[in-house]
Structure 1
Amino acid sequence: MKNKTYLKASLREIIYSKGRFISIVLIILLGTLLYVGIKATGPILNHSASQFVDQQELSNLQIISTGGLTKADEKLAEDISGAEVESGHQLFYADSDKNQVVKLYSYDQRNQQNQLIVKSGHLPKKADEIVLDEKARKEGYRLNQTYKIDQPDQLKRKSFKIVGFVQSPMYISTEERGLSNVGNGNVDFFAYVPESNFSNEIKSVIYVRFSNVDGKETYGKAYEKKMEQNIDKVEKLFADRPQERAAEIKDTAEKELLPRKAEVTENLAKVDAGQKELDQAKAQLEQQAAVMPAGNPQLQQAQAELAAQQKELSSNREKLMDAQQKISDSEKEISELKTPSYSYDQRSDNPGFQEYGDLSDRIAAIANVFPVFFFFIAALITFTTMTRMVEENRREIGTLKALGYSRFEISIKYIIYALSAATIGIVLGSVIGVNTLPRLVFELSSDRYNFPGVKAFYLSRPIIQATIAFLFASLGAAMLVLMRELHEKPSVLLQPKAPKPGKRIFLERITPIWSRMSFNSKVSYRNLFRYKSRMIMAVIGIAGCSALMVAGVGLKDSLGSVGEKQFGPIIDYDAIVTLKDQPDKATVETIFSENKKLVSELPMMNQTIELKQKGQANQKLTMMVPENRQKFKDYLHLKNQGEPFNLSNEGAVITQKLAELFDLKKGDRLKVYDDDQQTFEVKISAITDNYLGNFLYLSKEYYQQVRRKDFIVNSYLLKSKKLTDSEENELSRKLLSTDQVTNTSFVSTQIETQENSMDNLDGIVWIFVVLSGLLAFIVLYNLTNINVSERVRELSTIKVLGFYDREVTSYIFRENFVFTILGILFGYGLGIVLTKFILDQASMETITFPLVIRSGAYLSSGGLTILFSVIVMVATHFRLRRINMIDALKSNE
């Protein structure tokens, strides 16, 4: 009966102190929600994407060759253990009338890989049917329209009927469709036509799926590791194919050329024989003309016939000589034919695929810092609240102890209280966090990706971590104080703790200020320093919440400033034009000179190189070598910690991220691998600021010195006036039409891509800001509630002494205001450190995030904290008006 009554009393404690109980639950809920929810967001996003692409049988690898792929290539691929192999055609088609570039694929309903998702209509059933990318709807295409493709050398027909609009797992981005080597250089959308329409037996691509990666997360480390092994096997298997394919192409070309060559030779022999006969006929006619009178009609007719025959023979000879020259040129081209290159594209090379993975990686990186700090603040406040709660109940504990209750029986009440609050908070936080945050993040970026949605699941590790932390913060805090209190004798516990003695504070020594302060103000400031632990805990709690809000907005500022810091302050050109091998530069430069919006150009040699170091992943980067290093500074501004410098002939310049990854400094020597895996060494003369990509810069003279090779121009940097999208497309189209250019990349496109990439994180950042603000409000309420609960007797005393309600509220408000201002100021400093730490964690191998926190972050953080403090004090004012002074001041019995 005794225990039953005590159990009821324990449950009533929750009802009597429902404000404190709810605040503890909410703090635990918020901490768990953000920690568990954000920790689960990256894995859930990745798993949902992985599930989608596996369901659509997205190929793990695409084998592509510049020389096309034959049955021999397919057979070789089929020899790979556990590989499922399919082949197909793909080509770029430029519609000059509409200024559109389409990537055309062959469709075979027997194929299983890269299954299309029909959004409307149906897949092709007849040879004259075509399906278009869902994105083509924006271009005005509709079902049952006629679509024309004028590609007579590769397709058997020109006109097709649009029977459907589809999505492809190869294009998970709603906008990005990759680059092309025709038209304006950018693919607008893709299309599929039945394979029977392609006239060439040589295929363009081989799709491969590996059984050893089935069930593995496509963005996971296990998948990446296994795919590296698979690609190594494929590369070894295809190691001899480039040379074999080159020989096949030459052999086929020579066989095709041989009959033509024989025919031309034979016809030339016939022409020679005909000329010989004609010469003999001319000689006979001259002999007859010597004995015949001039003007003889028969003689004139014979001479005219011979002249006509001569003209015909000469014409035939000229045509045959032209044909012979063409054959000779073809033979020369065949002899100089370059060995085809084979490339092995993974899923990450598909448009938009890596961007989505980067989004999850950045969320995961931020989740390692921001929620943990949030979590720490929530746990700290929970710990403080539970500690104060037990300390407030000293008299009750003493009474129970005097009545004969055991230590365990007394503890039951606080165990129930702490476990109830922790359980409700952890369960609700986990359920809400896992089921809302991943979905919210996905919805905020869903307009950029073709995924049907996300499927939430629970990760045990963050839930277990949250449970342990909050059980310690709630139950652990209660038990720690109880252990101390229960060791005291009942007589000691029944007596209230002696108030801390007042002390002379530092402010009192500043007489000009202290003498001008009111009595109430003096009391408030003495109380601040009299109860230092209360002040420190309040300042830490407010500073933590303020720092979270600064970091949240600061993250948005910093992530959005990558492009702003890179394009303009560092990269100051507007486009890169990439040339084909052995180009006619004069043709390209003519187009530059004709375009009035182009200001200048700089010839360059750009190459993709690789750095290798034990214990560090191989890094691919761009090596840029300008023809004129003095002019280079007008196109790219080299800076070290903001201080500009120029490219020298004494060594190479590397970007800061590379220096960090490979632990490099000025004066070190660096081994570099080119495309052919040939090595050369460079001395690092300087390290330059950079935020996007990895680069190695060399002067022309230093390049020739270390490589002992000629400098060959293969690209141009362009500076221009502001170009519209249509003007960029037109310039790109003109350059590609020269057949001397492979691609034109505009900086404006890079800026847009970067902004879109960072926009994906806006949603997650705003979630942090909103939840941080909510936590700040609850923390302020909780700390004020504790402050008032601890000082009910003190506040009742000053009310009895004649203080008005407004003065009593001001008595507390002054202290809270000081706590709030100090917390905000400390929070600003802590927010800067926190933001910097998160950015360091979130930075990637090719991206460095600058620390940029604009004034709005400080204003919003400080403003919201002060607003919450005012709201809490208004609520506190009404509570103080209802204090029962008689109950609070009655003596201990």
Structure 2
Amino acid sequence: MVRGSLFIKSLRDMRKSKAQFISIFIMATLAVFIMTGLDSIWFTVEKHADAMYRSANMSDLWVTVPNPSEQMVWGISKLDGVKLAEKRFTADADTALPGSPTLHVYALDGRSTLDQPEIHEGKFSKSGGAVLDISFAKAHNLKTGDYISIKLNSRWLRLKIDGLALSGEHVFAVKNSASLAPNHSEYGFIIINTDALKSIYGQKIYNQISVKTLPGSDIPQLVQKVGAVVGNNLIGITLQKDNGSVSSVNSRIQQFRTLSVVFPILFLLVTALITQSTMVRMIENQRSQIGILKALGYSKRSILWHYTSYGVMVGVLGSVLGLLTGPNIFGRIMVRQLNLTLNSYSLKINYLHFVFVLILILICTGGVSFLACRKLLSDAPAFLLRDKPPKSGQHIFLESISSVWEKMKFSSKLIARNMVKNKGRLIMSTIGVMGCTGVIISALTVRSTLSGISDYTYGTTFTFNQKIVLDTSKVNSTYLKNLELDGITQQIEETAVQVIFPDGSYKMELTNITTKESPLIYLQDIDGNPVSIPENGVLMTRKLCKEKGLKKGDIIQIKIKDKGYAAVPIEEIAYIASGQGIYMTDTYWESLGETFKPSALLVRWNGEPDQKFLDRDIVSDSATRESMQDGLSSSLGVVNLAVLFLIVLGSSLAFVVLYNTGMLNYVERVRDLATFRVLGFHNREIQYLVLIENYFSVLLGMLSGIPVGRFISWLIASTIDERLDLLGNIKLMDVLIAGAMTALFAWIVNKVIAHKMKELDIFEALKSVE
């Protein structure tokens, strides 16, 4: 009976203060929605990608070496920390299909257990036939039992398709440097047995050693030992995390992991502060009800749970709704937009993070209600049944400045005194607006920064019209110079080179070798000053230097083919927004003992592209600057879409916070406002007293939100992706947009409050609680 009556009372109280409870419910829902939604994106990708890596028994590192001997494989397998070492062959091959798409060939030995395909149809025959990329097969209407021809070493090999599969090395795979996003109709993989290579090369041939390490192995130290075993024949060692597909997947995970940490924290902080303030005030307004319940003989435990349940119910309902909608709306849409080839797209929810957020919300709702009610229960019923004694008046700072105070209107003095008297409310309102403005500014800044990457990369740094990927076996630098194409050209060799950094770490780093005259690649430092590729050293991108803790004058070691390592100085540092790596001139590259072999030709045509040249067999692929710019924009589009969601949600939170604080300000001063009405104040004058306070807190919050937005933008820009060098500088337009949105919300809220003030029941407001 007691519980039932208290439950009915709680429903009645919630209905009476429905605006405040609804706002708390919405804030809790938004906070959990954004956290679980963003969390589910990277968590889903990470779990499914890891499952594919385990299913494939993917190697932890690959050692690229021409024709590795059995002695090398045996020597590596005996190193401490190595579980297994196997040989394989890998290379790109042309196909006889329409459009001449490319397949990456993996040739495995009959006893191979590493880097296995995940078969979805058919089987992988150890004796013959092939397993084809299932996405590539669908794009070309191929099925098991069909035949496909591939071209290796200038000879054609016809293979029967025994199975269709996925590969952990092709979750996100691009054809070459002219492609920035996967295209399954142009590029895929095929897995064959090394026996099939005999008809092409006359014998079994290998060019890679796959290595599986033991858990807990010291990978950097192991890489050094592997390099010592292979010797000067080493071309490079690629760690699993540096594999092109794995690196791209990890970048996607990192992008959304960063967003899922930074923005939800802000949402939660704002929600926690406003909810805490709201619940305390609501319990304080129930002091007479608490006195009545105590006088009627209700136990302290019953009263405590009664008021605690207010916050618990709202917090749990909001959190559950956020959990149900965040992953299913936000996560489900975004995972499909990532352009990843996974074995499953079923959503994975990080329940550990959800429980943490739920506990935080319950502390801010139920916990705060509990403490506030417990504090009131220490007073006697007779004391609680009387009005709370008003705060004692005090002089404010402005009163000491008589020249200012005497010139102020009476209403302005009232506003100033009320804000000082209720500075806790002003501070909470300001912090709430500050957090929301910071969220909007940072989201707008990240969006404009990401949108500007493609324009900067292919508008300022690279100024070619077309990038032409070449068949390096058929061209050389002299041949390209003698072409006399109608336009400005620049030769470039794009390769991955084994680098030892000063900290002792090894990495296959993207290296661009080009001519000293660089008419189509315009490099700048962080301040926008032009930078030239040095003649006696290398140029390194700013983000890579920052990641490795390097500066001008530092020495790195580069692996030279068939030789040891050459020490080279970092002579210049340049800012490149997308695509980090090393640049050097062709003459310096050759002075190290290497041969300059252009892999691409950059062209700025004077007129129309030379189609006759583009149709030659020396051209492997080509892409216009516009298509590459669109490809980069497309690859960043999913993050932009997520940020757009954040802008909408941040704006919604800002509106709810402003409405909540504005309504509380009005409710707390109902008796004062009614008194002013009795004293003859006009509606417009009374509205001025309340609404100016709201605008003042909004103004303070907007101004303090600018540095908050700047800090968040910088934090996201510096951690979102190691391949992107984002500055995170806020723009005036983003600040103005955020300010205009916040001001608009404040105006709408004030309009609602002004309307309620017109309908104020003076007699009801002034009725004594005694």
The TM-score bracket by the shorter chain reads: 0.7 to 0.9
RMSD: 5.3
Check if 1:788 corresponds to 2:680: no
Q: State the partner residue of 2:13.
A: 13
**Given residue 587 of structure 1, which amino acid in structure 2 is its aligned partner?**
Y
Q: State the partner residue of 1:360.
A: 253
Counterparts of 2:423 and 2:696, CA distance in 1: 13
Contact 1:69/1:202 (<8 A) preserved: no
Q: State the partner residue of 1:307.
A: none
The one of 475, 483, 497 equivalent to 1:608 is 497
Distance 1:827 1:232, change over 3 A: closer
Deviates more, 1:543-552 or 1:690-699: 690-699
> Secondary structure of the residue that 1:868 maps to in structure 2?
helix
Q: State the partner residue of 1:720.
A: 603
Deviates more, 1:494-503 or 1:44-53: 494-503
Contact 1:442/1:453 (<8 A) preserved: no
Check if 1:374 corresponds to 2:260: no
Q: Deviation string for 1:536-568 (max 9, x for gaps)?
A: 211211121121111112111222333333444
Counterparts of 1:859 and 1:95, CA distance in 2: 57
Deviates more, 1:482-491 or 1:461-470: 482-491
The offset of 1:789, in angstroms, is: 1.8
The offset of 1:784, in angstroms, is: 1.8
Distance 1:650 1:794, change over 3 A: same
Counterparts of 2:373 and 2:251, CA distance in 1: 49
Counterparts of 2:340 and 2:555, CA distance in 1: 40
> Secondary structure of the residue that 1:561 maps to in structure 2?
helix
Structure 2 matches for 1:444-843, cutoff 5 A?
444-445=337-338, 448-451=339-342, 453-482=344-373, 484-488=375-379, 492-493=383-384, 494-498=386-390, 501=393, 506=398, 523-524=414-415, 527-572=418-463, 575=467, 585-591=477-483, 593=484, 595-597=485-487, 599-601=488-490, 608-614=497-503, 617-621=505-509, 628=516, 631-632=517-518, 635-646=521-532, 653-666=539-552, 668-675=553-560, 678-681=564-567, 686-696=572-582, 709=592, 713-715=596-598, 720-721=603-604, 727=609, 734=616, 736=618, 751-801=629-679, 808-809=686-687, 811-843=689-721
Contact 2:103/2:190 (<8 A) preserved: no
Check if 1:395 corresponds to 2:266: no
Deviates more, 1:790-799 or 1:83-92: 83-92
Contact 1:572/1:636 (<8 A) preserved: yes
Distance 1:748 1:9, change over 3 A: closer
**Given residue 660 of structure 1, which amino acid in structure 2 is its aligned partner?**
K
The offset of 1:191, in angstroms, is: 7.3
Distance 1:397 1:728, change over 3 A: farther
Q: Deviation string for 1:500-533 (max 9, x for gaps)?
A: 637577599798999697x766655654454322
Distance 1:795 1:165, change over 3 A: farther
Contact 2:493/2:598 (<8 A) preserved: yes
Contact 1:60/1:210 (<8 A) preserved: yes
TM-score normalised by the chain length of structure 1:
0.69
The offset of 1:889, in angstroms, is: 0.5
Check if 1:25 corresponds to 2:25: yes
The offset of 1:420, in angstroms, is: 2.3
**Given residue 715 of structure 2, which amino acid in structure 1 is its aligned partner?**
F
The one of 142, 155, 176 equivalent to 2:174 is 176
Q: State the partner residue of 1:114.
A: 117
Q: Deviation string for 1:689-745 (max 9, x for gaps)?
A: 3333444556789x59xx985685444885532599x959975664837xxxx9989
**Given residue 389 of structure 1, which amino acid in structure 2 is its aligned partner?**
M
The offset of 1:783, in angstroms, is: 0.9
The offset of 1:82, in angstroms, is: 6.5
Counterparts of 2:637 and 2:406, CA distance in 1: 52
The offset of 1:93, in angstroms, is: 2.3
Distance 1:95 1:588, change over 3 A: farther
**Given residue 455 of structure 1, which amino acid in structure 2 is its aligned partner?**
S
When Rg is computed on C-alpha atoms for both structures, the one with the higher figure is: 1
The offset of 1:379, in angstroms, is: 0.7
Counterparts of 1:126 and 1:236, CA distance in 2: 33
Counterparts of 2:709 and 2:513, CA distance in 1: 41
Q: Deviation string for 1:66-89 (max 9, x for gaps)?
A: 766899999999999875979688
The offset of 1:179, in angstroms, is: 7.2
Distance 1:767 1:489, change over 3 A: same
Contact 1:133/1:189 (<8 A) preserved: no
Contact 2:40/2:350 (<8 A) preserved: yes
Q: State the partner residue of 1:34.
A: 34
The one of 698, 704, 725 equivalent to 1:848 is 725
The offset of 1:41, in angstroms, is: 3.1
Q: State the partner residue of 2:743.
A: 866
> Secondary structure of the residue that 1:413 maps to in structure 2?
helix
> Secondary structure of the residue that 1:354 maps to in structure 2?
helix
Distance 1:729 1:363, change over 3 A: farther
The offset of 1:623, in angstroms, is: 5.7
Distance 1:456 1:499, change over 3 A: same
Counterparts of 1:208 and 1:167, CA distance in 2: 22
Distance 1:123 1:860, change over 3 A: farther
Counterparts of 1:652 and 1:146, CA distance in 2: 48
The offset of 1:358, in angstroms, is: 0.8
Counterparts of 2:480 and 2:549, CA distance in 1: 41
Distance 1:85 1:606, change over 3 A: closer
Q: State the partner residue of 1:438.
A: 331
Distance 1:210 1:656, change over 3 A: closer
Contact 2:237/2:508 (<8 A) preserved: no
Distance 1:428 1:99, change over 3 A: closer
The offset of 1:476, in angstroms, is: 3.5
Counterparts of 2:21 and 2:535, CA distance in 1: 71
Distance 1:648 1:610, change over 3 A: closer
The offset of 1:464, in angstroms, is: 3.7
Counterparts of 1:650 and 1:79, CA distance in 2: 40
**Given residue 424 of structure 2, which amino acid in structure 1 is its aligned partner?**
S
* Long gaps (5+) in structure 2: 179-183
> Secondary structure of the residue that 1:239 maps to in structure 2?
helix
Distance 1:378 1:402, change over 3 A: same
**Given residue 736 of structure 1, which amino acid in structure 2 is its aligned partner?**
I
The offset of 1:188, in angstroms, is: 2.3
The offset of 1:380, in angstroms, is: 0.8
Check if 1:239 corresponds to 2:224: no
Counterparts of 2:554 and 2:109, CA distance in 1: 53
* Long gaps (5+) in structure 1: 181-185, 214-221, 243-338
The offset of 1:596, in angstroms, is: 0.7
Q: Deviation string for 1:281-336 (max 9, x for gaps)?
A: xxxxxxxxxxxxxxxxxxxxxxxxxxxxxxxxxxxxxxxxxxxxxxxxxxxxxxxx
Contact 1:604/1:627 (<8 A) preserved: no
Distance 1:433 1:234, change over 3 A: farther
The offset of 1:236, in angstroms, is: 7.6
> Secondary structure of the residue that 1:474 maps to in structure 2?
helix
Counterparts of 1:129 and 1:427, CA distance in 2: 49
Instruction: Report how many residues are paired.
Output: 756
Percentage identity across aligned positions?
Answer: 19
> Secondary structure of the residue that 2:94 maps to in structure 1?
strand
Counterparts of 1:685 and 1:343, CA distance in 2: 24
Deviates more, 1:366-375 or 1:135-144: 135-144
Distance 1:455 1:856, change over 3 A: farther
Counterparts of 2:762 and 2:623, CA distance in 1: 78
Distance 1:632 1:500, change over 3 A: farther
